[in-house]
């Protein structure tokens, strides 16, 4: 695929990933999952959409559940530093030749002047500054469950050509914090950040554009363990796809769930500070069995293969482009793949991954 050029217009000053708009097929079921089980806070709702936020958020929402015929992602939404940055976003993507729409009153409730684009990787991105402030529930511990989700942490996108996407995000002002490569120079994934955490979004190599997951943070690891305990108590432990575990990449403690439509949600805590301009990029070998799980526990194949479709600005499913480079799943698991605990090791252990 062609290289995405860097526009002559300055990039908008992006502050952070701020919200995702998810299309769900059964609003009541999704509400039960995100509100009753996970405890996200309802800012407002009607028969078509529910606006949710995490407990430490002061803007209107971090997640919109919108009723629709096909489960998909309608927008990855970023907050920018000023109203002028919305203008810059519009100009930036126009110069890139992308489809761009702007609404002075916003595309969704709670948000003002916004730009939505179909970005060069095929994803629906939104940029906004104006937003309603709502009650920040930092100190409202009486409303915090044992598994309290306190922040939206990041997105994760599936795209066929990771270096192409990486260049596009670097041009947009993101820092690359970590990546996964092999000795032949193939990049399997990359993590890019605007705020001072490991990522605001990540690029996972695969058929795309698709949404791999959206991640919320807890304060501590026991909060994540409690979510698992509660899912067991509710007899919906089969919503747990992978984890809990410790990531190699990002060093965060993690859990992956699947919502009633199969959208993947990560619960995440405790990565590290990356805010310095010369923050070192950490590169992992794709064959290092601790890269995805520091404890060497296996990655379930569905985690590599499944992801959510995304919509264009008309609400139609974006077509999928196949990845041409090797897949991480095949490179690391199964008959032709391999992973090591210690570089150079030949012997196989008894671990579950080896039996797949």
Distance CA 11, CA 214 (A): 24
The three-class DSSP label of residue 324 is: coil
Q: Which stretch binds its own copies (CB under 8 A): 56-64, 88-96, 105-113, 161-169?
A: 56-64
* Residues 87, 114: Cα–Cα separation, whole Å: 9
- Rank residues 69 and 344 by Cβ distance to its own copies and give the closer one: 344
302 binds its own copies (CB under 8 A): yes
Q: Which of 132, 229, 285, 312 binds its own copies (CB under 8 A)?
A: 229
User: Of 25, 207, 294, 320, which lies in the binding site for its own copies, with binding defined by CB under 8 A?
Assistant: 294
Give the DSSP H/E element, type plus range, for residue 83: helix 83-95
- Size of the residue set binding its own copies (CB under 8 A): 78
Q: Applying CB under 8 A, does 5 fall inside the site for its own copies? A: no
The CA distances from residue 222 to 54, 147, 249, in Å, are 18, 8, 20
Q: Least distance to its own copies from the beta carbon of 277, Å?
A: 6
Residue with Cβ nearer its own copies (4 or 299): 299
Rounded to the nearest 5 percent, the helix, strand and coil shares of the chain are: 20, 35, 45
Q: CB under 8 A: which stretch of 45-53, 162-170, 219-227, 314-322 binds its own copies?
A: 219-227
Q: Do residues 215 and 153 lie in contact, with contact meaning Cβ atoms separated by under 8 Å?
A: yes
Q: Which stretch binds its own copies (CB under 8 A): 23-31, 91-99, 163-171, 229-237?
A: 229-237
Q: Does 324 bind its own copies (CB under 8 A)?
A: no
Beta strand pairing status for 201-205 and 124-128? unpaired
Site for its own copies in 6-35 (CB under 8 A): 15-16
If the CB atoms of residues 170 and 321 are measured against its own copies, the closer one turns out to be: 170
Site string for its own copies, 141-180 (x = CB under 8 A): xxxxxx-x-xx-----------------------------
Query: Which residue has 């940055």 as its token pair?
Result: 85
Q: Which residues contact 102 (CB under 8 A, 6 or more apart)?
A: 86, 90, 113, 114, 115, 116
Per-residue contact string for residues 126-145; x = within reach of its own copies by CB under 8 A = -------x--x-xxxxxxxx
At which residue do the structure tokens 């570089």 appear? 343
* Interface with its own copies in residues 253-292 (CB under 8 A): 253, 258, 270, 272-273, 275-280, 289-290
Binding to its own copies, residues 327-356 (CB under 8 A): 341-342, 349-352, 355-356
**Which of residues 225, 313, 320, 321 is near its own copies by CB under 8 A?**
225
Cα separation of 110 and 131, whole Å?
6
Using the rule CB under 8 A, give the single segment among 54-62, 88-96, 183-191, 204-212 that binds its own copies. Answer: 54-62
236 belongs to the binding site for its own copies (CB under 8 A)? yes
Question: Which residues from 89-108 bind its own copies, rule CB under 8 A?
Answer: none
- Least Å distance, CB 253 to its own copies, is 7
Contact 252, 260 (CB under 8 A): no
Q: What is the DSSP string of 193-249?
A: ESSSSS-SEEEEESSBSEEEEEEEE-SSHHHHHHHHHHHHHTT-GGGEEEEEEE-ST
Q: Both tokens of residue 272?
A: 């590290």
CA–CA separation, 204 vs 202, rounded Å?
6
Q: Which of 1, 28, 81, 317 touches its own copies (CB under 8 A)?
A: 81
């Amino acid at each position: 695929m062609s290289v995405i050029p860097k526009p002559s217009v300055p990039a908008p000053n992006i502050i952070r990933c701020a919200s995702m708009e998810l299309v769900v097929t059964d609003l009541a079921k999704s509400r039960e999952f995100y509100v009753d089980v996970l405890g996200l806070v309802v800012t407002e709702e009607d028969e078509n959409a529910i606006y949710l936020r995490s407990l430490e958020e002061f803007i209107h929402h971090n997640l919109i559940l919108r009723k629709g015929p096909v489960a998909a992602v309608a927008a990855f939404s970023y907050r920018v530093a000023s109203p002028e940055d919305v203008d810059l976003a519009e100009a930036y993507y126009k110069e890139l030749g992308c489809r761009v729409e702007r609404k002075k009153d916003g595309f969704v409730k709670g948000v003002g002047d916004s730009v939505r684009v179909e970005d060069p990787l095929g994803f629906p991105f939104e940029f906004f500054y104006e937003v309603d402030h709502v009650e920040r529930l930092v100190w409202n511990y009486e409303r915090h469950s044992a598994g309290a989700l306190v922040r939206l942490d990041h997105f994760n996108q599936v795209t066929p050509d990771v270096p192409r996407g990486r260049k596009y995000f670097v041009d947009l002002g993101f820092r690359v914090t970590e990546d996964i490569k092999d000795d032949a120079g193939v990049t399997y994934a990359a993590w890019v950040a605007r705020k001072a955490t490991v990522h605001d979004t990540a690029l996972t190599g695969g058929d795309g554009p698709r949404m791999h997951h959206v991640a919320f943070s807890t304060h501590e690891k026991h909060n994540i363990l409690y979510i698992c305990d509660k899912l067991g108590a509710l007899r919906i432990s089969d919503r747990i796809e992978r984890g809990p575990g410790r990531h190699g990449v990002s060093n965060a403690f993690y859990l992956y769930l699947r919502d009633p439509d199969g959208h993947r949600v990560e619960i995440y805590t405790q990565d590290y500070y990356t805010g310095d301009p010369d923050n070192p990029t950490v590169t992992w070998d794709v064959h290092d069995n601790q890269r995805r799980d520091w404890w060497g526990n296996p990655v379930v194949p569905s985690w590599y293969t499944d992801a959510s479709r995304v919509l264009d600005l008309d609400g139609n499913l974006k077509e999928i482009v196949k990845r041409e480079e090797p897949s991480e799943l095949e490179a690391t698991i199964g008959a032709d793949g391999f992973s090591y605990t210690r570089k150079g090791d030949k012997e196989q252990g008894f671990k579950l991954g080896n039996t797949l």
